[in-house]
Structure 1
């Protein structure tokens, strides 16, 4: 069965323009910015709340998280940090599935988001009402879903994975002779399949940011900077991945920026990661990988339009009014937690194995 025959037809989503989103809520500057930051820090303390921010949100929110005892990280570590932190409220600066993941792992805590309307194209392109019957039609396959999915989709999965552990977990399942249903990112899924050789039936989703990177333009940029190393997130097209010196998750790319000897780095992921990359490697020159469009014609311009909805104003409003609270139906949450916990257990076992080898 071909991919076109196997995967249900998903209506294409309407993607907001990043520039338009920012124009609706332009960044604060000067005294107004200072006042907002001070008020946010005060409210975090008064509300017994901790701010967890994704690498892709505005630098101002990342700084507040760092300065108030929160964290800036990937989606899973954001949720784990919130679980381990004593705060009663977790404020998630990111997109909706990240808030849901925090609630899945922290049911006893209040979870707020500055922009509850901040979606993810991968989540939107994998609706539970179509994904669940698709899985039911292939009962012989183990269902592995990327973290960029709704709680309802996670509840139907056997495993939830992040990009940092996807290859190792699928390789483990492949060694057990299991066939896989993979959702929703087709580029990450294709990368995992090529790395593991696993039998994978893949959903046809893509990230609006990473899908925009173009191999031909990247080759031209590499020719202009022959000394540069290319860092690529595996949600990118295969032709872009083929040009990479390092392929990895957000955290892995930051570590590569720190450890690679190259002074110049071309980076194919959301450009807001540059804040943490500059911290990790202040002496490095960071260049955005080229996308499929420029200016007003560009769907992403290397920055997610939904991530751009996280602003100082939105964060302040969430803390002042409580708007943007995440709720997950308990029946769904319990099932989604089970699939997520399987990944966490696998990661813990893998870490112990690596430490054991190191001791030897």
Structure 2
């Protein structure tokens, strides 16, 4: 993917500008009185429409809080998928990026799925077009096709398995034990890491997350020297040299667990800064330090926030509820094909809690060993 296609200055919700690398529009900052009024309207509409709000850890903290307050849910993409499928609500409002809304619709075709902004997407999704991916699969028919959740419904429809960062290692480990060769897409950093950990034969698509790809090992080393007692938490979508410096490498849920259960006082966190909101709520006594994404010459030291996640705003949520806008629609043929790989993942995570627990606590070598 040509990252330059998405480069332009942005202004965030607080009014601060960042010219480092920004690719999307950001909701306007709301005066407190207006913000409170919008929140009350959203609460009313959720009840009136039998709707539930499901959010990702990377979005604005106010939306995360609203989800919890209204009986909704905040989680990583695996648990978002489970919650939406099992909840009794007729309507799902998904605050995240488009592939999350598509996954919700795939698993719950009878429900209306709305999103605050359908333009909120993902660099991994954009960097793995379905037509190109199908050609890649056609060229390697002997491989089990495993795709990351950060892909379109059309890409999932071609896959044997969908995985998230919380279960990818366990699933690939199991496939490797069965002697299967893997075709992996789209994140090359996560794929390489899983390949190193499991020894699996993996052919990797050359994609990357624009947020995690920006973490810098040389700057992280400097930060670690300043905080020698800090525990370093790194998401596996990060470059290899950054992952090598980690004490814990894992999904968003694994990183939160590490902060809550860890004995350290300080934690250096290398993932989207949106996660810090939940970490602070669950472990207010811990000191959280953002991992650096750039060197001394950069405009900012840490710009680790997905520009598309930042597109989710309270006004957008209210608008999609009142106007029924931002509805996720998936072609039925694609939906039914994509559902197979997602259901397979959900079944695996239910039936292999011991492998999943090891992966969620932090990726380690020889995960299947006693």
TM over 0.5: yes
1:51–1:176: structure 2 CA closer, same or farther, 3 Å change rule? Answer: same
Gaps of 5+ in 2: 16-25, 358-370
**Other structure's SS at 1:14 match:** helix
Contact 2:292 2:301 in 1 (8 A): no
CA shift for structure 1 position 294: 8.3
- Counterpart position of 2:220: 218
Match of 1:278 in 2: 280
**Cα-to-partner distance string for 1:240-284 (whole Å, 9 max, x where unaligned):** 011101110000100001011111100000001011111221110
Matched residues, number: 346
**Residue 15 in structure 1 maps to residue 6 in structure 2:** yes
Counterpart for residue 155 of structure 1: 157
Which residue in 1 is equivalent to 2:63? 61
Structure 2 CA distance for partners of 1:329 and 1:296, relative to 1, 3 Å:
farther
Deviation at 1:29, TM superposition (A): 2.6
2:271 equivalent in structure 1: 269
- Which whole-Å CA distance do the structure 1 matches of 2:354 and 2:260 have between them? 25
Over residues 334-354 of structure 1, what are the superposed CA-to-partner deviations in whole Å (9 max), with x where a residue is unaligned? 110001111111111102788
Structure 1 position 295, deviation (Å)? 11
Could you tell me whether the CA contact under 8 Å between 1:13 and 1:121 is conserved in 2? no
How far 1:59 moved relative to its partner? 0.5
**SS of structure 1 residue aligned to 2:125:** helix
Q: Measured at CA, do residues 244 and 142 of structure 1 come closer, stay the same or move farther in structure 2, by a change above 3 Å?
A: same
Contact 1:182 1:201 in 2 (8 A): yes
Give TM-score scaled by structure 2 length: 0.90
Shift of 1:19: 3.6
| Larger helix share, 1 or 2 | 1
Distance 1:338 1:304 in 2: 29
2:109 alignment partner, SS class: coil
Distance 1:247 1:88, change over 3 A: same
Alpha-carbon distance, 1:79 to partner: 2.1
* Pair 1:171–1:248, CA change in 2 (3 A): same
The aligned residue for residue 182 of structure 1 is 184
Matches within 5 A, 1:72-91: 72-91=74-93
* Displacement of 1:293: 6.2
User: Aligned equivalents of 1:229 and 1:32: distance in 2?
Assistant: 40
* Residues 173, 150 of structure 1: alpha-carbon distance in 2 compared, 3 angstrom cutoff: same
Distance (whole Å) between structure 2 residues aligned to residue 25 and residue 281 of structure 1? 29
Structure-2 separation of matches of 1:103 and 1:11: 29
Q: What is the aligned partner in structure 1 of residue 209 from structure 2?
A: 207
1:287-335 deviation line (CA, Å, top 9, x unaligned): 1000026899569811000000001111111111011000000100011
Q: Aligned-pair distance for 1:76?
A: 2.1
Give RMSD over aligned pairs: 2.0
Which residue number corresponds to residue 322 of structure 1?
324
Q: CA deviation at 1:96?
A: 0.2
CA distance in 2: counterparts of 1:235 and 1:353, whole angstroms: 20
Aligned to 1:5: none
Q: 1:117 aligns with which of 116, 119, 141?
A: 119
1:339 counterpart SS class: helix
What is the match of residue 96 of structure 2? 94
Encode CA deviations 1:101-130: one digit per residue, 9 max, x unaligned. Answer: 000111110000001100100000000010
Distance 1:60 1:353, change over 3 A: closer
Distance in 1 between residues matched to 2:297 and 2:348, nearest whole Å: 43
1:312 aligned residue (308, 314, 334): 314
Residue deviations 1:217-254 (CA, integer Å, cap 9, x gap): 00000001111100000000010011101110000100
Paired with 1:294 and 1:129, the residues of 2 have a C-alpha distance of 41
Equivalent residue, structure 1, for 2:193: 191
Contiguous gaps of at least 5 residues in structure 1 = 1-9, 356-360
**Preserved contact between residue 218 and residue 290 of structure 1 (Cα < 8 Å):** yes
2:206 is paired with a residue whose SS is coil
Partner of 1:45: 47
Q: Distance in 2 between matches of 1:276 and 1:318?
A: 25
- Provide the residue aligned with 1:103 in structure 2: 105
> Corresponding residue for 2:147?
145
